[in-house]
Amino acid sequence: MKVILKQDVSNVGQSGDIVEVKDGYARNFLIPRQVALQATPKNLKVYEQEKQRHQIKLTKEKRSAEQLAEKLDQVSLTAPVAVGEEDKVFGAVTSQNIADLLNNKGFDIDRKKIVLEEPLKALGVYEVPIKLHSEVEAKVKVWVVKE
């Protein structure tokens, strides 16, 4: 039986492939779990339309992420921290702190999108990357200053 794969299946094929599998495997495993569709002309047409809609959606998401990245590249944040003797910072500036500062500026960015290898533990200026889309990354300037 020929089927259209909706998801990647190990040892069978990639998403979007039209593959020949045994009838029982298709009827009892792939189709009930909605991993594949039977390769009829109607299903081929429906799958192509769905694929185009998905592609349009991805293009819109990328475009909006690029526009947001342009705005974020202009942003400069100031993170006041408590310091002790010899400008030793107490605590650190984390991705959650940066997300809160961005939220105060009007940007709703999830802290998980902020790529911070380790918290900022010293005074200074840092370029912090933010992963907005799989292909779009913005950089925000963060100033860590004395409180």
- Residue 126 burial by Cβ neighbours in a 10 Å radius (0-12, 13-18, 19+): middle
Instruction: Render pLDDT for 20-38 as a digit per residue (tens, 0 to 9).
Output: 999 999 999 999 999 999 9
Specify the pTM. 0.72
In the chain, count of helices (H) and strands (E)? 3, 6
Q: Which segments in the chain show pLDDT lower than 70?
A: none
Percent of the chain at pLDDT above 90? 81
Hey, what domains does the chain have and what are their CATH numbers? 2-64 (3.40.5.10), 67-146 (3.10.430.100)
pLDDT of residue 95: 94
pLDDT of residue 66: 95
Are the CB atoms for 93 and 144 separated by under 8 Å? yes
